[in-house]
Structure 1
Amino acid sequence: MSTTKCPAAAASAAHETPPPRLTGRLKVILAVLLVAQFMLAVDFSILNVALPAIGDDLGFSLADLQWISTAFALCAAGFTLFFGRIGDLIGRKRIFLGGLALLGAASLAGGLAPSPAVLIVARIAQGLATAAATPAGLALLTTSFSEGPLRQKALGLNGALMSAGFTAGAVLGGVLTDLLSWRWAFFVNVPVALVVLLVAPAVIAESHPATRPKIDLPGALSVTLGLLGVVYGLTRAGEHGWTEPLALTGLLAGAVLLVVFYLVERGAAQPLVPVRVLRKRTVAWGNVLGLLAFATETSLVYLLTLYMQKTLGFSALAAGLSFAVLGAGTVTGGVLAPKAIARTSTVAVLIGGGLLQAGFTAVLIFLGDTPASMGLLLPATFLGGVGNMLVIVGFMVTATTGLPDHEQGLATGLASMSQQAGITMGTPIMSAIATAAAGGAASAGAVLHGVTAAVTTDAALVLLGVLLTAVFLRVRRDRAPRA
């Protein structure tokens, strides 16, 4: 008698296969990587509230104070893709641990800095450490968890903690500066980095490439310098306006170098980023959506900080604490996203999350000039945060799906670059819009008008992401064969 199962029986048996579960070792790996990524996210915003205190203590001029943030952002965004690819070649674990060791050392140096020059060097080192550790950590996360529910859950928690880290940084920076000193905004990284460095080597396996290709030096130089030019130009534009000569020069030079990078990659024997990967629909459009998601939400934090302090008269600490509600929303979205993807699809979550974020961002147009408006702001930021995190998890799943393990460092490097470029780009763009709408005035009413105009633009950009998802990432159904 034949023992071959019929297709229905085989399908039933497959359906009854229990879903994969987190083992004890995978839980430790996940915890280590999530703690590290949360710490890296906190660094993007923890010094924002502390900048005036740093300037007073170390003697920064008002014009030079913005370089505390700019020096970090330039390196974090500019070198991410390069270090992501280096991790593919020499080992992601090595790059991850090296980045965290550099972050711990740079944070200690920044906390002890006796002068502006030392502090800026420490911030540059922190930016380089972030550019190395972020894509390597994400690559270790995606290669430790196979495609499917486990990876979606891991990316959901990672996205939630990274977004929560950005908002938590504003809160933590205000608390540490008020209660202790701005130096503790640096020192807080040191023990966390030490713990991760002690635990990670024992639980995370190294990834060794089967072959070790040569570094694409022309590609690495052109993309790194191109990103530096764009980020510098955007930062200058936010500070001095879009017609400022250095801002225009940076943006133009950066754009030209990125075009050169694409042309170099087309002809390179061993490219830094294979053009076939850039042409992959999920990679290309997934990263565009990621850039928009991070640009809109992080710039909204800036706009609402401006609104609460300049229009409502809140202190920096009170404004920072208000973002705990947004942080709760992003954590909620990160928990819900993998479940929603499993029940529907990644595209459905991207569209649904985008509509949720756009709707509750648009609601903020109705903010007024009295503290009663907090009754609108707090629930709107919570629900908008849920929507934003649905988009971020959907973007991470989309941008890292369909590539082999040996290219996951490249995929996560591109995703990290989109994330960091979005964080860097959003604030200067929205700042310029708000300043122009306010007519350069700093009165409570003018600031409210400027913030409202920028919030409208923010909501429109989120809707643009929804439209791009519907057009370019829709599920393509195979046509029935002709008779």
Structure 2
Amino acid sequence: MKSDVISRRRPGAALAALAGAQFTVMLATSIVNVALPGIRAGVGLSDSGTPWVVNAYGLAFGALLLAGGRAADLLGRRRVLLTGLAVFALSSVAAGLAGSPAVLIAARAVQGMGAAAVAPASLALVMGLFPPGPGRGRALGVWGAVSGAGGAAGVLLGGVLTQAWGWPWIFHAVAVGALAVLAAAAASVPRTPVTETGRFDLPGTVTVTLALTTLVWGLTSARGSGWTDPTVLGAFGLTALLLAVFVLVERRHPDPLLPPRLFRTGRVAAGNVLMALLGSVWIALFFFLPLHQQQVLGLSPLVTGVGQLPLAFAIMLGSALAPRISRRAGPTATVTGALLAEAAGLLWLARIGAHGGYLTDVLGPSILIGLGLSVAFVQLTALSVEGVPQQDAGLAGGLVNTTRQVGGAVGLAVLATLAGATTGRAEAAHQPYLEALTAGYRTAFAVSAAVLAAAAALAPLLARRGPAAPLGEAGTRPTPAAHN
């Protein structure tokens, strides 16, 4: 097995490829934000159709992460990773060549499906390459750096490419990056034995995927139609019904998609709750901050992207320092302090003015937010997979990504509604448009700070660590299978 030998000698090469996969997935999440006006004009999107360029990717990504994680455990993580990257690259090319709204939105949905395979498989491979200890801490620091920097880099690259060559190149660039990562992963990531021998839980996968799809669809629709719209309420009601069916299916299936043992090990449950709260603020930050820079401060797409660089650098710095901070202060204190630091940065950002500037209103808070966000993300990712049996590593990676994505969808829908309501009241009170818009953004940032403060108050739950589950629990006997 030549690739096994290469990986043992050069684990850094495998880590670089896996981090590149995660970076590409996160890049595709935010790279379209700045380019939306050009995309709308280019393919003839309507007002109601434009948000679905973003929503189609996020919906497919969030809804299929659990299925992607379980598939990685059953079929082989390397195989699922490479397949996901290929699907991701091809759908990116299709999105760049799209000449109609239907083709573009469909391509973005398939792109999200590929991402749902890549993210949990790559995280599980990282956990397998680096055993518990300082090495794994450093690897997760790299993971956190590229995850956070990918969102900020997407805004920058989207602005540069849109302004220089037009919106199709944002998708072509993502495709080129995905193909490069695919080649690097094929050369450096080892073939690992499949250790899970259970059956794929198709009924559970279908019901939970449909439940997450209807939930995210309802939340994204609520931003435009309102929370009391019958269609939105119907989506939430169907979500509740599907989740109830999912619980019944899981109780009866011999190899459930979410086995109970997963929540009895390590800090999985507490880590995922806090990751959902962090995600609810994270996604919204990268939505509102570029809008404020362009709509209120009047910055161009390119300058807006450049303005994200300090945030990206702060994220990379915090991710590098996170393992060292955790070893000295302990994981619970580290998470608490990081969440409070990010909350303080958002409170600072909530003081923006309609006639302010980037240097006075945005730069300082961005650095503080980036440091807190990155440290919290690295630690919560590590804690959410800590103590999980190797047979469930892919599923645990899918779960923590799911909670972040779904938390982000919930947070963005709620914060966008609150911001819109605040702006509407300000306009009704005859405030100038820019001041009304700024008031809405201030509300979103202030509420985000409150959410993180609540998350910090819940951080002591991380101290309640359950026993690590041994391999082979719940009737499974993992045995080496064919390499993949």
TM-score by length of 2: 0.90
1:331 and 2:319 are equivalent in the alignment? no
**Alignment partner of 1:229 out of 214, 217, 220:** 214
Following the alignment from structure 1 to structure 2, what is the Cα–Cα distance between the partners of residues 428 and 272?
Answer: 28
The CA deviation string for residues 408-455 of structure 1, in whole angstroms up to 9 with x for no partner, is: 001101011122223333322211110111126481111111111221
* Alignment match, 1:109: 94
The C-alpha deviation readout for 1:9-65, integer Å capped at 9, x for no partner, is xxxxxxxxxxxxx97511101111111111110000111111111111111122211
Alignment partner of 1:175 out of 153, 160, 184: 160
Q: 1:361 aligns with which of 346, 361, 384?
A: 346
CA deviation profile, 1:214-242 (whole Å, cap 9, x unmatched) = 11122111111111111111101122221
Q: Which runs of 4+ in 1 moved over 6 A?
A: none
Alignment partner for residue 277 of structure 2, among 277, 286, 292? 292
Report 1:208-357 matches (<5 A): 208-210=193-195, 212-280=197-265, 282-357=267-342
- How much is the aligned-residue C-alpha RMSD, in angstroms? 2.0
Q: Which has the higher contact order (CA 8 A, sep 6+)?
A: 2
1:142 deviates by: 0.8
Contact 1:90/1:208, CA 8 A, preserved across alignment:
no
Supply the distance in 2 between the matched residues of 1:452 and 1:298 (Cα, whole angstroms): 16
Residue in 1 that maps onto 2:442: 452
Mapped to 1, the partners of 2:358 and 2:55 lie a distance apart of: 32
Q: CA deviation at 1:170?
A: 1.0
1:357 CA drift (Å): 0.7
What TM-score, normalized by structure 1, do the two folds share? Answer: 0.90
Question: Structure 1, residues 55-111: CA drift from partner, whole Å, max 9, x if none?
Answer: 111111222111111111110000010111011001011100000001111111111
The answer to whether the Cα contact below 8 Å between 1:176 and 1:182 also exists between their aligned partners in 2 is yes
Equivalent residues, number: 456
Tell me: CA distance 1:328–1:49, structure 2 relative to 1, closer, same or farther (3 Å): same
Which of 53, 60, 68 aligns to 1:75? It is: 60
Report the Cα offset of residue 202 of structure 1.
2.9
- Secondary structure of the residue that 2:197 maps to in structure 1? coil
Q: Alpha carbons of 1:476 and 1:269: their partners in 2 closer, same or farther (altered >3 Å)? A: closer
Q: Distance in 2 between matches of 1:48 and 1:432?
A: 18
Which stretch of structure 1 is more off in the superposition, 53-62 or 304-313? 304-313
Rg larger for: 1
Moved more, 153-162 or 239-248: 239-248
| Deviations 1:221-274 (CA, angstroms, capped at 9, x unpaired) | 111111111111110112222112222222222233223323322332111110
**Which residue in 1 is equivalent to 2:117?**
132
- Higher mean C-alpha deviation, range 360-369 or range 43-52: 360-369
Aligned-pair identity in percent equals 37
Cα distance change, pair 261–446 in 1 and its aligned pair in 2 (3 A)? same
Q: Which residue of 1 aligns with 2:423?
A: 438
Letter in 1 for 2:238: A
Pick which of 429-438 and 267-276 moved more.
267-276
Give the whole-Å Cα distance in 1 for the aligned partners of 2:175 and 2:289. 30
Q: Which runs of 5+ in 2 are unaligned?
A: 1-6, 467-484
What's the offset of the Cα at 1:115? 1.9
Change (3 A) 1:352 1:111: same
**Alpha-carbon distance in structure 1 between the residues aligned to 2:269 and 2:196:** 26
Contact conserved, 1:266 with 1:275, CA < 8 A, in 2?
A: no
Q: Could you tell me how far apart the structure 2 residues matched to 1:135 and 1:30 are?
A: 14
2:459 to 463, 466, 469: 469
Query: Structure 1 residues 255, 149: closer, same or farther in 2, change over 3 A?
Result: farther
**2:84 counterpart of 1:95:** no
- Give the letter for the 2:322 counterpart: A
Amino acid at match of 1:197: L
Q: Distance in 2 between matches of 1:156 and 1:170?
A: 22
The alpha-carbon distance between structure 1 residues 437 and 279, as it changes in their structure 2 partners (threshold 3 A), is farther
Which region of structure 1 is more displaced relative to structure 2, 277-286 or 339-348? 277-286
Q: CA deviation at 1:166?
A: 0.7
Instruction: State how far apart, in whole Å, the 1-side matches of 2:21 and 2:402 are.
Output: 17
